[in-house]
A and B are shown apart, each in its own frame.
Chain A
């Protein structure tokens, strides 16, 4: 190994020598620093689009990146009614100061559970679910404009009332698929306030044993909505471009629970083989062209598949005690990382995954977000039992329209990442 160290030292000396010959520019001014902080990264826009087009990844892939990078860019391209979001300046979760939780009007919809929340680029759409006390399923929805702070009802869906359905935003439409007792789906276009039906999925999104959706997972890949029934081990992907479902290879690991993840290039699953206390293995597998391969197995106490996220260059998996590990999929070794400050919480909700960050819900007033600037987990205190399923990232803030509260209301709040003065 010594030889490699010598090579590195020589290369470092060359590098320092080269850098020492460069002139030191003028330091940034306070005005420049503030301007940079409040202006979207416009020069990157052309580059990102070119990148996606040149690599043939398709426009949606680029837009998926832009979706998290710049609200104005996203709205100009994706949004039905382009409107800047206030303070829409952050490329991802990072804050010079503690982000602020701001309640907002929960709107005309009745409090509910099992509903979906989608961000279109200019509106948050809440749809479906079931009333908290009676469990009566619902088929209504409404859209919230965070700039105008107004709600509008959306057109009735050609779907029966349902809960625990799967959703995705394609760039033009909100896809709604399955739900407990259902295989059908529809797509809602907010620009025209119209729905269209889409073909039924063959993947059951209900567990017959429990009549719940707990054994199904879905993920949007930028082009397709992928559904996975873990127990049946059936996967299918819907493309709005072809309006067809395509069956995908089974994972083949005989898992008891699992979750789909997408890192921008590959489809991954995290899964466990059972729920017994002695189960302490979390498996990570990847779909390569036409077959799944086991990437790694993480030894962790009380593993929960959904407690995992892609944060830009690596996966992080954690448990409800905040014990965390990280792994770069190109190097299938899990390394214990900085604990996530949710220790002591009774439960943990699904994370909200972003392109290079994540928001983690600890469910006890001890929550955390991954700050991309300093690459650390930062503690934040969020109200209620939040969940990534009921949260969206607009580019500058998290908007959450959550479950019914004990008081009969809705846990609706915005987590604003403000700029420094």
Chain B
């Protein structure tokens, strides 16, 4: 995966051909759960994660017909992770949580309590660290792929991962 593959702009013939051959609906059904997993890890509430995921796919759809997406899978993952960690988004999410205070807690979740604690701690990390950890452990990207997705160097991603894990170890009282 190269840096350009997740961006927008002119595409080469082979990308265009691949892109045009697949209906958006197929792309959505194939990628939805993977993208939702990233959003769920980075946001507190299930409904927010689902909303964020749909927003990312809606953004992709707006570009789909113009064939402006070189790598739609990477693009939609980047967008959802960026949206999830943005301070603006966090403020909105917090606001909605307060408005819906009576419904605090995700009663529909079946995630193990320990795992909930882990993702809660991840969401408290600095944004880039949280993003790197989720893209590595949940989305399964390599450090180089994350570097390309986030537009930073591979060493920078390693630094974010190391620092994030060190903070998590301390927060979760896990022996390093």
Contacts and interface: CB of A to CB of B under 8 A. Distances in A.
Interface in A346-381: 355-356, 372-376
A248 to B, nearest CB: 24
B137 A9 contact: yes
Interface in A290-316: 312-314
Given A1-B169, A335-B152, A338-B152, A47 B99 contact: yes
Interface stretch (A12-20, A238-246, A268-276): A12-20
B17 interface: no
A330 B129 CA distance: 11
A14 B140 CA distance: 14
B67 interface: no
A385 to B, nearest CB: 28
Interface in A11-35: 11-12, 14-16, 18-22, 24-25, 27-28, 30, 32-34
B54 A15 contact: no
Q: Looking at chain A, what size class is its interface with the partner chain?
A: 35 or more
A46 B66 CA distance: 35
Interface string B36-70: 11001100000000100011011101110110100
A16 B138 contact: yes
A331 B62 contact: no
Contacts of A49: 95
A1 B28 CA distance: 36
A5 B165 CA distance: 7
Given A331-B163, A335-B159, A372-B86, A22 B36 contact: yes
A36 B114 contact: no
B20 interface: no
Contacts of B166: 1, 4
A48 B92 contact: yes
A48 B111 CA distance: 29
A21 B87 CA distance: 30
B32 to A, nearest CB: 5
A15 B58 contact: no
A335 B54 CA distance: 32
Contacts of A336: 152-153, 156
B118 A19 contact: no
A8 interface: yes
A19 B176 contact: no
Nearest to B133: A8
Contacts of A372: 82, 86, 88
A420 B79 CA distance: 17
A415 B57 CA distance: 27
B92 A8 contact: no
Contacts of B168: 4, 7-8
7 contacts: A15-B115, A28-B28, A46-B99, A48-B95, A50-B99, A65-B88, A337-B152
Given A25-B54, A96-B59, A335-B156, 19 more contacts: A7-B174, A8-B168, A14-B115, A16-B138, A18-B111, A19-B33, A25-B32, A30-B65, A32-B58, A34-B62, A51-B95, A264-B87, A337-B151, A337-B152, A356-B87, A374-B6, A375-B150, A420-B63, A421-B66
Interface of B: 6-8, 24-25, 28-29, 32-33, 36-37, 40-41, 50, 54-55, 57-59, 61-63, 65-66, 68, 75, 78-79, 82-83, 85-88, 91-92, 94-96, 98-99, 109-112, 114-115, 118-119, 126-129, 133, 137-138, 150-153, 156, 159-160, 162-163, 165-166, 168-169, 172, 174-176
Interface of A: 1, 3-5, 7-12, 14-16, 18-22, 24-25, 27-28, 30, 32-34, 36-37, 41, 44, 46-52, 54, 65, 69, 91-92, 96, 264, 312-314, 326, 328, 330-331, 333, 335-338, 355-356, 372-376, 420-421
